[in-house]
Structure 1
Amino acid sequence: MVQRFTSVRLLGALLGLLLFLPVLMATTPPSMCTPLRTLDDNLSHRRRYMKHNFPVNYTIRVHHEEVFKQSSIRKMKLQVDNLEEVHLQRMWFLVNHGVLKKIIRVMPERHPSRPYTTELERRLQDAEGVFVQSYPPEVFQQELPDAIQDIWDCLTEESDRVPESRWRFASPKSLLDNFCHTMHCLFSDCFATTETQNQLDSSHCQKGRKKALGANS
C-alpha cells in the first residue's frame, strides 16, 4: 500500500513537472507578452511615421551600441562569457530608451511623428515596468558580465564625454526596425504564434545561441 502511494505521488510530481516544463524553458516571463505585443502593434506603423515624415536619407547621431541588431546579439552570445538572456533583455531596454529619446529630441513640437514616438516611449516604459516586476530584485543586483557592463557604461555616460569615434549615424526608420527585430529575437516566447516573418526573425536570432552552446560543449 505504501509503495503504491509513493508511486502515485511520483507520478503526480512527474505530471506536474511536464505541465510546468514549457514555463521553465521560457526565456520571457508570461506577464511580459501583453505589453510587448502592444508595443509590437505600435511598431507596425513605423514606416509611416519614421520614413514618410522625414526627409530622404535623414539620419540622427546615436551611440555605436545603439545600432543594436540581431547580428549584435548573435555576436555577444558567441563572445561574452557567462551571458544570460536577461542581460541582453536589460540592455535592449536601455538601448531603445536612448534611441527613442534621441529621435524625439530632433523633432519639433509640431512634428507629425512626435505623438507617435512619445507613445512608443510610454509603451516601452510600461513593458520595462512589467519586466522588472517579473523577476526577484536579486536579478538586477547581480553584476553584469564585463563586456555588457562596458556597453552599459558607454550608453549612460554624458554625451560630451563620448569620443567622436563612438558615434554613428542612422535613420529613424532603421533604428526602429532594429528595435522591432531584436524584440522578436530576445522575447521570442511572446511571438511564437505570430506571422511567418516574425518566426523567421526569431529563428535567425537563435543561431547565435546554438553556436555558442556548441562551442561550450
Structure 2
Amino acid sequence: MATVNMQQGYTAVLWVLAVLGMEATALGECELTRLLQDKLQYEMRLQYMKHYFPINYMVQVQYEEVLRPSNITRLRNGTVSEVALRYLWFHVSSQAVLRIHEVLPEKHPSWKYTQELCQLFDALGKEYSKYQQSDVEAVVADLVKLIHSTGVESRRKAVRPKALLDNCLKVMRMLYGAPCQWEST
C-alpha cells in the first residue's frame, strides 16, 4: 500500500517537473543516488578513504577521470544537457570507484565499502543502459569513450582516494539535488 502511494507521489512530482519544463531524472536514478549520497557521508569517506589508507596514498587515474564541480559548470555554460552531464558523472564516478576498489586486497578494511559502492554504481548503470553515446552531446560521448578505452595512451594523474569520492559526491549533488528534490545537506 505504501509503495502505491509512493509511486503516485513520484508520478505527481514528475508531472509537475514536466509541466514546468524541467528535465526529470528517472525514479531509479533518484533512489540510487540517494543511497550513494548516504554511503558517501563525510565520516565514511574520511574513515574508509583516508584513515584506512597510508598517509598521502594516491591512486593513478586518467586525467579525464577527475570530474570537479567546475568542470560541470563549464560544460553547462557550453550548453551540455543535464542528462548528458549525469551520464558523464556516472561513467567518471563508477570508474573512479572501480580504480580504488581494484587496488585494495580483499582483507583491506575499505574493500567491503568500495564493493558496496561498486554495486550501487552497477545498479545505476542499469538505469543508464538506455542511453547510448550517440544520444548525448559529442563532447560527453568523446569523454566517456576516452574513459573506457584501454589501448589509448592517456595522461595519468595521481589522486587521493578520498578526493575522488569527494568530487563524486559534490558533482552528484549538483546534478541530482534539484531534480530529485534533495534537501540541502
Say yes or no: TM over 0.5: yes
Mapped contact 2:133–2:141 kept (Cα < 8 A): no
- 2:97 aligned with 1:100: yes
Q: In the alignment, is the contact (CA less than 8 A) between 1:64 and 1:167 conserved in 2?
A: yes
Residue type at the aligned position of 1:172: P
Larger radius of gyration: 1
Counterpart in the other structure of 1:193:
183
Identity %: 31
2:17 to 22, 34, 39: 22
Match of 1:110 among 96, 107, 111: 107
Paired residues of 2:104 and 2:111 also in contact (CA < 8 A): yes
TM-align CA RMSD: 2.3
**Contact kept? 1:154, 1:162, Cα under 8 Å:** no
Measure the CA separation in 2 of the matches of 1:95 and 1:49: 20
Shift of residue 131, structure 1, vs aligned partner: 4.6
Of 140, 146, 152, 1:161 maps to 152
C-alpha displacement of 1:105? 1.4
Identify the residue that residue 12 of structure 1 maps to in structure 2.
Answer: none
The equivalent position to 1:147 in structure 2, one of 139, 144, 157, is: 139
The residue aligned with 2:47 is 48
- Aligned-pair distance for 1:31? 3.7
Provide the TM-score with structure 2 as the length reference: 0.81
What is the TM-score with the length of structure 1 in the denominator?
0.70
Equivalent of 2:172 in 157, 165, 183: 183
Q: Give the partner amino acid of 1:65.
A: E
1:104, 1:114 within 8 Å by CA — same for their partners in 2? yes
Would you say the 8 A contact 1:27–1:187 is kept in 2?
A: no
Q: For residues 184 and 23 of structure 2, what CA distance do their matches in structure 1 show? A: 17
Q: Which runs of 4+ in 1 moved over 4 A?
A: none
Change (3 A) 1:27 1:70: farther
Which has more helix, going by share of residues? 1
**Partner amino acid for 1:95?**
V
Residue deviations 1:66-88 (CA, integer Å, cap 9, x gap): 11011010111223x5x211111
SS in 1 for 2:61: strand
Which has the higher mean CA deviation after the structures are superposed, 39-48 or 145-154?
A: 145-154
- How far residue 27 of structure 1 moved from its aligned partner, in angstroms, is 3.3
